[in-house]
């Protein structure tokens, strides 16, 4: 059996977190380092948590140590639980239907390629009630570069295959040019959804293989693509 793999971004793709992640970052910076900073110079769309932290430390002309990373990534999920409780994330159009349909397919694996650290990814997904759909993935504490996160996720998908299985089509669905680039970095089909901050024009210019307004009906579109329609794995 050939297994189709569908990797998904979280913020702006699966959920509207209502800026819970940014608010948690701001609070965690204060809790961990005593810094009061609105980080309005940070663009979160398509970013990874590790890269964001590196940029903030560069702004403060501080060298980021492993101890700093450990401390901050311990504080961040604590603050995120608070911000999600204050303003609960919601799923975006078509997401629940897509996940339910893909879950019924024995020939399809569903996972995450996200800039969130794993603990924060799970908090956001749980708050939106969809955390049970993702048996694999790679996360924003594992590398600062989203392309490398995608490569990790792909390796983990390969590791889940049974002896009689092989990888078929691979998709990355996301709302940013960085998601498109990550898809192409692993030879995946890049599906861009215009439910985040980047415009449809920006996503098209980034080279999306398929551009959709939202994820309504996307499972049917993915399942209808033949092997020759996708990028080579």
pLDDT digits (tens, 9 = 90+) for 62-121: 999 999 999 999 999 999 999 999 999 999 999 999 999 999 999 999 999 999 999 999
Say if CB 46 and CB 123 are below 8 A apart.
Answer: no
Q: Please state the separation of Cα 161 from the chain's center in Å.
A: 22
Where do we find the tokens 């293989």? Answer: 209
- Condensed to tens digits (0 to 9), the pLDDT of residues 130-178 reads 999 999 999 999 999 999 999 999 999 999 999 999 999 999 999 999 9
Give the pair of three-digit tokens for residue 200: 């449809």
- What is the CATH architecture of 2-17+90-229? 3-Layer(aba) Sandwich (3.40)
User: Model's pTM, two decimal places?
Assistant: 0.94
For 209, other C-beta atoms within 10 Å of its C-beta total: 18
H or E segment to which residue 2 belongs: strand 2-8
Contacts of 17 (CB under 8 A, 6+ apart): 10, 11, 84, 89, 124
């Amino acid at each position: 059996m050939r297994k189709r793999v569908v990797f998904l971004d979280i913020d702006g793709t699966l959920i509207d977190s209502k800026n819970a992640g940014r608010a948690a970052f701001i609070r965690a910076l204060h809790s961990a380092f005593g810094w009061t900073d609105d980080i309005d110079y940070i663009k979160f769309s398509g970013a990874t948590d590790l890269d964001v932290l590196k940029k903030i430390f560069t702004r403060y002309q501080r060298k980021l140590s492993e101890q700093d990373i450990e401390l901050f990534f311990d504080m961040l999920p604590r603050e995120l639980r608070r911000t999600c409780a204050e303003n609960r994330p919601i799923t975006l159009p078509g997401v629940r239907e897509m996940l339910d349909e893909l879950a019924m397919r024995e020939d399809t694996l569903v996972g995450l390629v996200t800039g969130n650290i794993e603990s924060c990814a799970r908090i956001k997904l749980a708050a939106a009630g969809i955390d049970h759909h993702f048996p694999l993935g790679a996360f924003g504490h594992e590398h600062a570069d989203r392309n490398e996160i995608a490569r990790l996720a792909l390796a983990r998908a390969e590791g889940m295959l049974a002896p009689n299985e092989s990888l078929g089509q691979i998709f990355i669905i996301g709302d940013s040019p960085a998601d498109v680039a990550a898809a192409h970095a692993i030879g995946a089909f890049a599906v861009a959804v215009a439910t985040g901050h980047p415009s449809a024009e920006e996503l098209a210019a980034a080279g999306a293989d398929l551009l959709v307004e939202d994820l309504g009906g996307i499972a049917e579109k993915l399942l209808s693509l033949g092997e020759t329609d996708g990028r080579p794995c």
